Structure 1
Amino acid sequence: MSAVAALRPGRSVTVKVPATTANLGPGFDTLGLALALYDELTVTVREQPGATVDVIGVGAGEVPTDESNLVVTAIAHTFAHYGLELPGLDLVARNSIPHGRGMGSSGAAIVSGIVAAKGLLEGIVDIDSTALLALATEMEGHPDNVAPALFGGLTIAWVTPEGPQHKRLMVHRGVSPLVFVPEHVMSTALARSLQPQSVPHEDAVFNVSRSALLIAALIQSPELLLAATEDKLHQNYRASAMPETNRLIALLRENGFPAVVSGAGPSILVLASDPGQRIPAAELVASASDTRWQALMLAVDFKGATVSVADALVG
């Protein structure tokens, strides 16, 4: 079946996808949290083949605006997975998620494309949550960012022989994320290259205990977040690549703020136990650093990716 024949030119979908922060300290490649900062995407079917992308906001003038754009690649990947031909597309991407800062921008782009494809294919193919996660993980390589981007809230992600799996949890209402975003970027590939293939047994046990505690802290006991965000598995190994991030995290933690690297960095995540903790944390960073760090006081997103379809299929 040809999706081009089944889709009317002018059919349009609008997608909204949250930023994410992964690892959360000890939960390396496993835990992720959706944040109330969004990329919005509108995709419209056109008669001419190919794709064009109009980027507004973050990434404008920097990311590709043709078929090589990651969002278009994700749409094409989804259509190809179901053996369908990709129609001509016009995309408008309104981006707010910082790129290369450890806030899940690539995961959000992938999820945007896959969820847009789901909307475009409504009535042709039923793409359920399991398939969405599998497709996104295929492209991203690991599910820790794409799971919260898709489903919202706090997610635990793991991989089985049958494919990636997730469990979504609600976060205690006191948990108040604060993200410090620097002007410089960090390559996820570089950050991962600094990770050793094996770690000491006692460090592994340490992280197992803290990861278990972190789940309890995030859903029930936020007062435990400082202890629960301790990590010996990945942050120390990557510290040399982002010394200012490492220095400010140490300073924040010395002052009682549960600070960790956001994803692969270089942004810093503070998981405050109540909203009032965030202002003194922001003041501390502002007074302690000679470089500019944007302080984003964000809510937890509980919806994940959403899609609305503007018109109907041709009968």
Structure 2
Amino acid sequence: MTAVDPRLAGRSVHVKVPATTANLGPGFDTLGLALSVYDELEVTVREAPGATVDVRGVGAGEVPTDDTNLVVRAIRHTFDHYEVPMPGLDLVANNVIPHGRGMGSSGAAIVAGVMAAKGLLAGIVDLDSDALLARATELEGHPDNVAPALFGGLTIAWVTPEGPQHKRLTVHRGVSLLVCVPESSTMSTALARSLQPESVPHQDAIFNVSRSALLIAALIQSPELLHAATEDRLHQSYRASAMPETDALIQLLRTAGFAAVVSGAGPSILVLCSDPAQRLKAAELVRSHATTPWESHMLAVDFKGATVIERSADAAA
């Protein structure tokens, strides 16, 4: 048995990661918001090699509880990148973010693992914000979900030859969020992406550029522009056939004047409202017209992003 690095022995960390909603209509693979729904994770170094995961809440009995768990893979990926042998680990995952509903559950799992590694490696390796985003994006494949999960707020994410980048913005206090989640249906991100064409008409690309720019202004300064700013021609219509009730409810909401879009890859719906009363009306519209059970969540924008609390053996004593 390989001995645990003495610098890691006895260490434990607590991680908290927000859910996210990506795309926000026209900002495909670029824009994301952190939501006030959280997964929490406890990670403790142990003598025995390997990892075990105690999953509580969402995903219990469904997701892997060994080294193949996505959180463990993210921890290992980070340790491997910095050439530090990963010690044996005990994990307790308290999951609240729905899986397969377009609220960034996989991105949150990856960020939880990267943040856990950051805490465990404190004093050994310094992971700054660029490093955290790079490690998380390497696993997720694109930064639009992991950026808001890491940093909170509204994020613009893009990729350069030097790696993924982000800009965090503060959302206008008048913006209220409603996320409507179907009780039973799910959507695979891979399936959602497979439904999109390799190219789109030039005029559609121009349309989305204008709406994405307008959406930034609407979210940080002018919420009254949210309905016009959330129009999209790049991805939602192509995916509509795979989630017909989502599409029907979005069309209903938008016709009634609500800024409704697909949350991430779906099938959940995000409604960006200009005041709390408006989102109550939107929730009632969904409740009265949905043909299957949906849950409506009145959420706030999370402004902190992922956090990690480190505890050493000396500190715990």
Structure 2 residue aligned with 1:181: 181
- Measured after TM superposition, the shift of residue 311 of structure 1 is 1.6
Residue 233 of structure 1: aligned partner: 234
Structure 2 matches for 1:131-280, cutoff 5 A? 131-182=131-182, 183-280=184-281
Alignment deviations for residues 54-112 of structure 1 (CA, whole Å, 9 cap, x no partner): 01100000000000000000000000000011100000000000000000000000000
Q: Deviations over 1:102-140 (max 9, x none)?
A: 000000000000000000000000011000000000000
Distance 1:313 1:82 in 2: 25
User: Quick one: structure 1 residues 65 and 219, their matched pair in 2 at CA, closer, same or farther if it must change by over 3 Å?
Assistant: same
Matching residue's letter, 2:177: P
> TM-score, with normalisation over the residues of structure 2?
0.97
In the TM superposition, what is the alpha-carbon distance from 1:3 to its structure 2 partner? 9.4
CA distance in structure 1 between the aligned counterparts of 2:154 and 2:291, rounded to whole angstroms: 33
SS state at 1:93 partner:
strand
Distance between the aligned counterparts of 1:234 and 1:212, measured in 2? 17
Cα distance per residue 1:249-292 (max 9 Å; x no partner): 00000111100000000000001111111111111111101201
Aligned-residue offset at 1:5: 1.4
The one-letter code sitting in structure 2 at the alignment partner of 1:291 is: T
Q: Take 2:246 and 2:123, find their aligned partners in 1: how far apart are those partners?
A: 47
Residue of structure 1 equivalent to 2:87: 87
Distance 2:245 2:7 in 1: 51
> Does residue 38 of the first structure (1) align with residue 41 of the second (2)?
no
How far off its partner does 1:8 sit? 4.4
Give the aligned length.
313
CA distance in 2, matches of 1:297, 1:9: 42
- For 1:241 and 1:59, locate their aligned partners in 2 and report how far apart those are by CA, in whole Å: 23
**Matched residue type, 2:100:** G
How far apart are the structure 1 equivalents of 2:249 and 2:21? 18
Q: Check conservation: 2:33, 2:153, Cα contact below 8 A.
A: yes
**Residue 240 of structure 1: SS of its match in structure 2?**
helix
Match of 1:23 in 2: 23
- Given that residues 14 and 308 in structure 1 are in contact (C-alpha distance below 8 angstroms), is that contact kept between their aligned partners in structure 2? yes
Distance 1:88 1:282 in 2: 46
Instruction: Please identify runs of 4+ aligned residues in structure 1 that moved more than 4 A.
Output: none
For each residue in 1:23-66, what CA deviation from the matched residue of structure 2 results, as whole angstroms up to 9, or x when unmatched? 00000000000000000000000011110000110000000000
Distance 1:233 1:121 in 2: 41
Q: Which runs of 5+ in 2 are unaligned?
A: none
Question: Equivalents in 2 of 1:37, 1:256: separation in Å?
Answer: 26
Write out per-residue CA displacement over residues 142-174 of structure 1, whole angstroms, 9 at most, x where no aligned residue. 000000000000000000000000000000011
Cα offsets for 1:179-209 (capped at 9, x unmatched)? 0001211010000001111100110000000
d(CA) in 1 for partners of 2:90, 2:224: 48
Check the 8 A contact 1:3/1:85 in 2, yes or no.
no
Contact 1:123 1:313 in 2 (8 A): no
CA contact (8 A) 1:6 1:313 kept: no
Say if 2:52 and 2:67, in contact at 8 Å, map to a contact too.
yes
Tell me, yes or no, if the aligned pair for 2:23 and 2:31 is still in contact at 8 Å: yes
One-letter identity of the residue aligned with 1:124? I
Counting aligned pairs with the same residue, the percent is: 79
Deviation of 1:10 after TM superposition, in Å, equals 2.9
Shift of 1:218: 0.1
